[in-house]
Chains A and B, each alone.
Chain A
Amino acid sequence: MKISKRWLFGIVFLAFFMVGCSSDSSGEDAVDLNWASPAGYTPQSPVESDAEYISEKVSEFEEENPDVNLNVDVMANNVNEAMARLMEQAESGRAPDLAAIDGYILPNFYDHLQPLDDLMEEYGIDPDDYLPFAKDVVTGPDGKIYGLYMNTDTRVLFYDTDVIPEPPSTWDEVIEVSTKIQEEGYNGLMLPGGRGEGTSVTTLWPLFWAQGGELTDDDGNPTFGEGENREKMLNVLTTIQEAAEAGAIPQRVSSYGAEGDLDQEVATGKTAMFLGGNWQETVIPDLIGEEEFESWDVAPLPQIEEGTDATSAGGWTWGIFTEDEEKQRAAFDLMARLYMSDQGMGEFNNVFGGLPSRESVFDSEYYKGTKFSDEYREMLEEAQTRPPSPEYSKISTEMQIAISEVISGGKTPEQALDDAWNSVNN
């Protein structure tokens, strides 16, 4: 009996203590704003310059909004896993107030996100200023804006003008140019052709999209292996196979799954053209030297048919889940300051090395740009994003296996495509 009383006293004391603590720390009017994001977009970013920029802006926000408590929740490193967890939270009504969402996946969250049209108007951000692909992604089926597209990237052909005066615009020209430069001791065209997302977005999808191909239908069901889409995907694999057989692309690219895997090839000094991401522009000078890099240029990705254009765009968005208007305003203010206003988007992309998703920011005083910013901006007009289908990851993985097998000579394009299609639909 004595023990029971002692326990009871302990529990009552603890309860009073906790109530006392909570009322002391938060205050009556304080608002808790829960903010979920990969580490790279938080003050805990592993890149020092990014962390400094974000921390500074967050401090400014906290000084001007002392009644808002920011709680940062760092997402898992694995983007797919993090997005799956966020979806689970949203479906069970436990989503954070504000979250970073991989751009192409945003449409899956429309039902859980708050429309931002009024706040965008208030902060002077025009939805029509978004690049076409970005506007498509953030606009819901009801025409309202559900996301803040903060940065983007694109895929291009990098080439050395000293070796290749005119960049190839078709794959026939790729074979021709590759054969010629190999006689001079250079590699053929380098590209990601192995297992990794870089292969899908840099090598496969642009060739498929330029023919009008669609990976999925409007409901997210895979379509790439049936009807006209099958023919278009087969064209892609056959083109790559012909180039590999002609020696225009070396077999070893079947072990490169990311654009960054090509850096080692560039470092040898024997690579005069490769398909890569715009962010590699800052890496190449470190690999070959500033002076050597002066003769490098970028061009649109070569296509199967002359006169067609397509490339991939990536990047991240922010979505606001909270229904509390005060929190919505605080969240929007924070995002505008950090990533979305002319100053925020310009300065963040200067530091982060990304590209603005709003056209006017390219011309803004805050965005320094790079040697090829204007070219990227032009190419982004034709850019597409990956479909927001739950089946996408499976499609991408199976098609990476298919192209890798075609390049390494393991399967014919038909076999590889049929196996990928069967695996996706099994």
Chain B
Amino acid sequence: MSNFQSVKSPKIKPGKRAFVNSPFPWLLPLGLILTFVFVYPIFEIIRLSFTDASLLGSDYSYTTESYGRLFGQSEFFSMLLITAIFVSFSVVFQLFFGFIIAFLIDQGQKLDLKGTVIVRTSVLTAWAIPGVIIGIIWRVMYTETEVGIFNSLVGMMGMDLIPFLSDPTIALISVIVANVWRGTAFSMILIYAAIQTLPNDVMEAAKIDGANGLQRLFKVMLPMLAPIILVTLIIISIDTFNTFDMVMALTGGGPGQSTEVIALSIYTTIFREFNLGQGAATSVVLLSINVIMTLVYLKILGRQGEK
């Protein structure tokens, strides 16, 4: 060993050698990249949130007014509520439909049914389309005249046209449905991949032990899938909290503020009202929500997964 070292690095000093042999040289590039693209922007956002900076000028001063104004507005709390409704329903239904589709495709493959690849690909297409395009597609489908796709069906059934985008409550439901359609594919592909890795012998053993289909699903399959479901839950929750492109194209946050989620409000505050300070403060609130929610998921579901 000592011969090997003397041949490989004869002139390196002992301190330098310790550094070269440590993991730090390997981690340094990643650390630098993370610092510039992740830590620095977060630091800047937090710093700007304590200023009255505007996009219209370069002068600003440090203040806590942005937070004061934010928490002093009743609209802020109604926006939080709208975001909570949007995220919870979107996440629950994306996971539910994602699991169902993944399970059905897996069963279809086991039964040698044709067309499972087509189903998988077509579901994935929804995930590959940019959010703005999805917003426009659904806006066309929700059109509130007879030429709207859904309303023409409603009209054919002899019912009154549905105000998909102009009634505050129905508009929020419409946005959730569009977002579930958009996000289900991502949940499906992760859960489908996890199902493929489940050991067949465990499932077979459960079957031999007399467990029926539902018992095998709830007592064997789901516990084994728990870690990947946890990861999926965290990713789609953060993704849904950060959604604004689809909502902007579909409703623009209206009617009124009935579909204005936090991420859209940040965009409006910074890029339409030029209020960089308050937009940054709202971003910090969104970041905090995402971090807290992830920690809670890890604590609650992570423990269950370990069990």
Contacts and interface: CB of A to CB of B under 8 A. Distances in A.
Nearest to A402: B256
A81 B267 CA distance: 12
B112 to A, nearest CB: 46
B251 interface: yes
A264 B145 contact: yes
Given A255-B165, A405-B255, A394 B273 contact: yes
B254 A257 contact: yes
Contact of B166 (A84, A87, A254, A426): A254
B57 A91 contact: yes
A401 B143 CA distance: 20
Contacts of B166: 194, 251-255, 407-408
Q: Interface centre among A267, A394, A408, by most B CB within 10 Å?
A: A408
Contact of B56 (A84, A196, A257, A401): A84
Given A81-B271, A264-B147, A255 B254 contact: yes
B5 interface: no
B167 interface: yes
Interface in A395-414: 397, 400-401, 404-405, 407-408, 410-411
Contacts of A394: 273, 275
Contact of B58 (A88, A196, A254): A88
A364 interface: no
Interface residues of B, number: 34
Contact of A87 (B57, B171, B258): B57
A253 B6 CA distance: 81
A102 to B, nearest CB: 14
Contacts of B274: 80, 84, 390, 393
Contact of A411 (B55, B253, B256): B256
A4 interface: no
Nearest to A261: B139
B55 A401 contact: no
A153 B166 CA distance: 28
A419 interface: yes
Q: Interface centre among B144, B251, B256, B273, by most A CB within 10 Å?
A: B256
B268 interface: yes
A251 B167 contact: yes
B207 interface: no
A22 interface: no
A253 B143 CA distance: 11
Given A88-B58, A268-B146, A268-B147, A255 B75 contact: no
B196 interface: no
B252 A254 contact: no
B145 A255 contact: no
Contacts of B256: 254, 401, 404-405, 408, 410-411
A191 to B, nearest CB: 13
A408 to B, nearest CB: 4
Given A81-B271, A87-B56, A251 B163 contact: yes
A155 interface: no
Interface in B218-267: 251-258
B143 A254 contact: no
A408 B164 CA distance: 12
Contact of A254 (B69, B75, B255, B272): B255
A163 B163 CA distance: 26
B213 interface: no
B10 interface: no
Contact of A80 (B143, B147, B272): B272
Contact of A265 (B58, B145, B252, B255): B145
A390 B273 CA distance: 9
B72 A426 contact: yes
Given A268-B147, A408-B255, A393 B58 contact: no
Nearest to B274: A84
A254 B255 CA distance: 6
Interface string B113-144: 00000000000000000000000000000011
A69 B115 CA distance: 60
Nearest to B276: A84
Contacts of A423: 73, 75
Interface string B61-96: 000000001001101000000000000000000000
Contacts of A390: 54, 56, 274
Nearest to B252: A195
A163 to B, nearest CB: 17
Interface in A50-105: 78, 80-81, 84, 87-88, 91-92
Interface in B26-58: 54-58
A194 B257 CA distance: 10
A394 B279 CA distance: 13
Nearest to B74: A419
A254 B57 contact: no
A88 B145 CA distance: 45
Contacts of B75: 419, 423
A92 B59 CA distance: 11
Interface in A231-281: 251-255, 257, 264-265, 267-268, 270
Contacts of A404: 254-256
A394 B147 CA distance: 34
A393 B275 CA distance: 10
**Which 4 residue pairs are nearest across A and B when measured between Cβ atoms?**
A405-B256, A255-B165, A408-B255, A252-B144
9 contacts: A195-B254, A196-B252, A254-B254, A254-B256, A255-B255, A264-B143, A405-B255, A405-B257, A419-B75
Interface of A: 78, 80-81, 84, 87-88, 91-92, 194-196, 251-255, 257, 264-265, 267-268, 270, 390, 393-394, 397, 400-401, 404-405, 407-408, 410-411, 419, 423, 426
